[in-house]
Amino acid sequence: MEYAILLAQAALNGLVIGAMYVLMAVGFTLTFGIMRVVNFAHGEFYMLGAFTAFFTYVYWDIPFVLCLLIAAVTIGVLGALVERALIQPFRGDETSAMIATLAISVIIQNSAIVIWGPTPRQMPDIVQGTLLLGPFSFPWSRLLVIAAAALIFAAFWLFMQATRIGRAMRAVAQDKEAALIQGIRINTIYPLAFGLSVALAALAGALMGPVFSVSPFVGLTPMLKAFVVVILGGLGSIPGAVVGGLLLGLIESFTATMFGSLVADILQLLLVILILLVRPAGLLGQREV
Amino acid sequence: MLETSSPALPKLERSQTAESRNLRQGAVIAVLLAVAIGVPQFATNQFYLHLANMILLNAIFAMSLGLIMSVGQISLGHAAFVAAGAYISALAALDFKLPPLLGILLAGLVTGFSAALLGKVLLRLRGVYFVLVTFLAGQVFTLIALNWESVTHGANGIVGIPAISLFGFPLGTRLRFYYFALGLFVLVFAFVWALMRSQYGRAFRSIAENLRLAEASGIDVSRYQVIAFSLGSSIAGATGAVMVHYVRFLSPDSFTFTDSIAYITILVVGGRHALIGCLLGSLFMTPLPEALRGLVGTQHILYGVILLGMLLFLPEGLVSIGRLFSRGSSRGTR
């Protein structure tokens, strides 16, 4: 029985971090699919989202939903501006664009250290109490993260499927030239896509703020995991990011429960290398042309 | 197999300018070397000597990364090979009393060999996938170095690493080490220079320029990529070992992802497509944190700003400043 409780706990934790990985990886893979840019600053936008949620929630004392909204909008707009000013000049030059995002990441992280200091801050739980199901107990705060992430992803999916801009983004991802011929304005789609992508990262950060702590360094691990997820799922593939994210969260949680987190991290890398050997474009990805 | 018959006229013209260019380049190199050998004799400030040593070492790290980038692959885990070389030589010296010079050789061999094995697997990935996997591999290396305490001493680090001794002549002082580092730099520079002018260099460049075309022309892309990757990693490992016998302290924080970015920054700032760019980039970027010591915290921000600014406004690096003045005669090493 105790073993079952342990497993249930691990499954819940796996779903929580898996939900966060999904949000991170979907945004990351979106930028790559549409713009062919690997965004090494993705984790820093996660960190900015966490800080935005922290300050608005703790100091303004407003409902957490509003905090999420504020984080998504401000960081999304910031991301669109960053794309327009600093990434657009490197269109068509993947290498330079990637190095530019490395530089942006360095700038954002160190600015955060200068402004907010390196000490981690604890954020209060959004909801208290636990859900009791027979012998199993699940904290509501964890369940909230899973539900919120599912809602956010559903909204994102609807946006991509049903709106004109979402369709335009998918068109650009499929074939840039053909999209251009159809009259889609790449110069508005790119900043929008980048803004949307980092807004998802900011939401992930805001959601995880109460679960982990908030500091200028929190962005690195989620970004690392997003890399693993997109390699598993295939760069540019959104379904791949969802499947890969949940899978990675669960695998990580179970291996960490059984063997400790170091072994979990090393196992992950081996898994990635193994999958890349068998399917170089990821589990659900398509071959690069 | 790569030879293409170029028209007669441009060829003639080129050989004439090439001769005068070679002469001038030779003179410049001779003067630079004379300065590099002479000046430290009069340097009384130990700190400047230390900076000079770090400039040389960083330039070598950048050259070794540039070698890997010359086949069109960017490694974000380069610091892991530097660290691996440093650990091998430091532990061999402390645990097995291996002389540092042999340790450095061992470090170069082991890192080169493991890079060849790893490269066989990882280099099947192209472009972005390779970048991401090398990034992950670098992170895992840091994790292992931190947690495998029985061997690496974990976060406490390793102290008391002996200095290099050349035939019983210890390189304990900064001045002595400077000449060793200078010799190493010249050696690596000459090696990479010659390599890039050989059949290998031509193959590397053709792969970087157009992988599919190179493949279609019968160039064994993966073989050349593995060669470049293991040579670059081997130089990085050996130089990491050299550095650890100079700094004489090693911890998992000594070489991390930040250093991998620093090597890329040096390459970009100096000029990605010219070998001398590594030295220029290192000359500029290595002393920079020291110059900005008063601005704690903001120095890293400035680091990022400089990297971004170079990419935006001077994408060919500091090297291209010189080229702006002497246009025509030097189409560079591209």
Residue B8 is predicted with a pLDDT of 44
Record: contact A265-B297, CB cut-off 8 A: no
DSSP B154: G
Query: Does the beta-carbon distance from B128 to A38 stay under 8 Å?
Result: yes
Dist. CA B239–CA B184, nearest whole Å: 9
Q: Residue type at A137?
A: S
pLDDT in tens, A93-111: 777 888 899 889 989 998 9
Confidence class of residue B98 from pLDDT cuts 50, 70 and 90?
Answer: confident
Whether B12 shows a pLDDT value over 60: the answer reads no
Query: pTM for the whole thing?
Result: 0.82
Round the average pLDDT of chain B to a whole number and report it. Answer: 82
Verify whether the Cβ–Cβ distance A262 to B137 is below 8 Å.
no
Domains of chain A: 2-278 (1.10.3470)
Strands A136-139 and B169-170: unpaired
A221 → chain B, closest CA residue: B139
Interface contact A231, partner B, CB < 8 A: yes
Nearest CA in chain B to A231: B129
Domains and CATH numbers, chain B: 2-333 (1.10.3470)
Mean per-residue pLDDT, B271-282: 84
B74 contact residues in A (CB cutoff 8 A): 95, 98
Q: Which ranges of B96-127 does DSSP label H, i.e. alpha helix?
A: 100-122
Whether the Cβ atoms of residue B85 and residue B239 lie closer than 8 Å to each other:
yes
pLDDT at A281: 67
pLDDT tens string B42-72: 777 788 888 888 999 999 999 999 999 888 8
Q: A269 touching B, CB under 8 A?
A: yes
Measured CA angle at A210 (ends A206, A211), to 5 deg = 105
The residue of chain B nearest to residue A117, with distances taken between CA atoms, is B297
Do residues B243 and B86 make contact, with C-beta atoms less than 8 angstroms apart? yes
DSSP tag of A119: S
Euclidean distance between CA atoms B129 and A94, whole angstroms: 13
Distance, CA of B291 to CA of B289 (rounded, Å)? 5
Alpha-carbon gap, residue A121 to B47, rounded angstroms: 38
Interface contact flag, A113 B297, Cβ < 8 Å: yes
| pLDDT at site B6 | 43
Q: Is B315 on the interface with A (CB under 8 A)?
A: yes
What does the CA dihedral A29, A30, A32, A33 come to, rounded to 10 degrees? 110
Identify the segments of chain A with pLDDT beneath 70.
Answer: 1, 277, 280-289
**Long-range own/partner contacts, residues B275-279 (CB < 8 A, 24 or more apart):** B275/B63, B275/B66, B275/B189, B275/B192, B275/B193, B275/B196, B275/B333, B276/B319, B277/B66, B277/B317, B277/B318, B277/B319, B278/B59, B278/B60, B278/B62, B278/B63, B278/B66, B279/B55, B279/B59, B279/B185, B279/B189
Q: What is the mean pLDDT of residues B87-110?
A: 89
* Cβ contact A277–B301 (<8 Å): no
Q: Which of A39, A102, A108 is the best substitution to test chain B (most B C-beta atoms within 10 A)?
A: A102
- CB contact under 8 Å between A224 and B264, yes or no, is no
Using the Cβ of B295 and the Cβ atoms of chain A, whether some distance falls under 8 Å is answered with: no
Distance from CA of B44 to the nearest CA of A (A): 35
CA distance B51 to B57: 10
What is the per-residue pLDDT across B220-249, written as a single tens digit (0 to 9) for each?
888 899 999 999 999 999 999 999 989 888
% of residues, chain B, pLDDT over 70: 89
The residue ranges of DSSP E strands in A143-182, in sequence order, are none
Rounded to two decimals, the ipTM of the complex is 0.80
Share of chain B above pLDDT 90, in %: 19
Listed by number, the residues of chain A in 126-185 with a beta carbon closer than 8 Å to a beta carbon of chain B are none
Query: CA of B164 to nearest chain A CA: how many angstroms apart?
Result: 34
| Best to test chain A binding among B68, B131, B308 (most A CBs inside 10 Å) | B308
pLDDT of B9 over the 60 cut: no
Q: Does the pLDDT at position B13 exceed 60? A: no
* Residue contact B304–A104, C-beta within 8 A: yes
Taking alpha carbons only, the member of B308, A31, A83, B280 closest to residue B300 is B308
Q: Report the alpha-carbon distance of residue A200 to residue B56 in Å, rounded.
A: 43
B104 inside 8 A of chain A by CB = no
